[in-house]
Amino acid sequence: MLSSTITRSRPTATMAKLAGGMLVAGLATKYTIGVAHAESPAAPPRSQVFGRGPALVSLVLEDAEMVNHNTRRLRFRFQDKEAASGLPLTSALLTYSWPKDSWLPVIRPYTPITTADETGHLDLLVKQYPNGKSSTHLHSLKPGHTLFFVAPLSGHQWQPNSYKHVTLIAGGAGITPIYQLAQGILNNPDDKTAVTVVFGVNSDRDVLFKKEFDEYEQRFPGRFRAVYTVSSPVPGSPHRKGHVNEALLKEVTPAPGPGNMVFVSGPPPMETALVGSRREPGILEKYGYRKEQVYKF
Ligand SMILES: Cc1cc2nc3c(=O)[nH]c(=O)nc-3n(C[C@H](O)[C@H](O)[C@H](O)COP(=O)(O)OP(=O)(O)OC[C@H]3O[C@@H](n4cnc5c(N)ncnc54)[C@H](O)[C@@H]3O)c2cc1C
């Protein structure tokens, strides 16, 4: 199964496929989901592409587009166009690919930005890093090429109405799980959780999902809000300037207290600044959040 889905051969193909197969099977066993569909308001779709345990599916790229200077949205087609991903909030997918000029395959997780019950396809949003093996490979894929998905990875197992308010803090490409969670909460008519997204980026052109978040603000006034802060904004930028810091959180989010929860997803320096390290407390703890009120993706 595994070997039939790998699109290129290498001199060391047999050994590497074997090693890759063992590695992905190990990772899949370690991280795969105990599926809980508590957040899904809709009737279960006819078939689900990802269930419990390893997935081991190869999906064809249907189309792709650049959404900004370094980020590409890729749509992968399901073989059964009535099927849905079935992934619970919050999940990522472990991918396995073999970049050009690389002697070894790479295994990286990516977070679908389409919902669990969307049929026929799933979308990934991938930022390309300079010399990034997997991200450069994904940016090079053309419609008709395939990507191998090894297994779903579980994040926080969301239960609707567990909190009154959630603050979702994202940095850069870390927006994907934050968007997935915001979307899952707001699209579930039974979930009344209020949501504030705080999105920190380097420059104005790195802001993603502005249109989608604007629509949520229109649909859920007083319940959903997105705040953008840009480290190096252009003159006249509509966004705030600076990093996500305590002053900003105090201004735009409710004070820490029972019923409030924070989710953080960003580059490591941002996560450390917010969540802290062994040596010093982070911004969230200084603000008053207890450890169990903060989830880091
Ligand atoms: C659970 C999870 C979900 C994820 N979901 C997504 C997603 O939806 N979209 C997405 O684009 N990425 C996502 N990522 C990150 C992704 O898995 C890869 O790490 C990323 O694409 C870089 O891989 P690479 O092989 O291209 O880079 P590598 O070859 O591993 O690294 C190349 C260079 O890029 C730098 N680099 C790599 N990652 C980062 C980073 N996060 N921040 C700053 N510099 C970095 C490295 O320092 C290195 O210099 C997710 C990660 C996790 C853990």
| Domain boundaries, given as residue ranges, for the chain | 56-153, 165-296
User: Annotation-wise, does 17 bind a ligand?
Assistant: no
The architecture that CATH gives domain 56-153 is Beta Barrel (2.40)
Ligand 1 pocket list (CB less than 6 A): 92, 106, 108-111, 124-127, 129, 131-135, 153, 173, 176, 267
Per-residue pLDDT of the chain (297 residues; tens, 9 = 90+): 333 333 333 433 433 444 444 454 444 443 444 333 344 455 554 699 997 778 889 999 999 999 999 999 999 999 999 999 999 999 999 999 999 889 999 999 999 999 999 999 999 999 999 999 999 999 999 999 999 999 999 999 999 999 999 999 999 999 999 999 999 999 999 999 999 999 999 999 999 999 999 999 999 999 999 999 999 999 999 999 999 999 999 999 999 989 999 999 999 999 999 999 999 999 999 999 999 999 999
What's CA 214's distance to the chain center, in Å? 19
Task: Name every residue whose Cβ is closer than 8 Å to that of residue 189 and which is 6 or more positions away in sequence.
Answer: 41
Cis peptide leading into 193, omega within 30 of 0? no
* 137 Cα–ligand 1 center, Å: 12
Comparing C-alpha atoms, which of 192, 243, 164 is closest to residue 227?
Answer: 243
3-state secondary structure of 120: coil
Domain 165-296 sits in CATH at 3.40.50.80
What pTM value is reported for the model? 0.87
At residue 192's C-alpha, the angle toward residues 191 and 193, to 5°, is 100
* 34 Cα–ligand 1 center, Å: 25
DSSP labels, 227-274: EEEESSPPTT-SSEES---HHHHHHHSPPS-TTEEEEEES-HHHHHHH
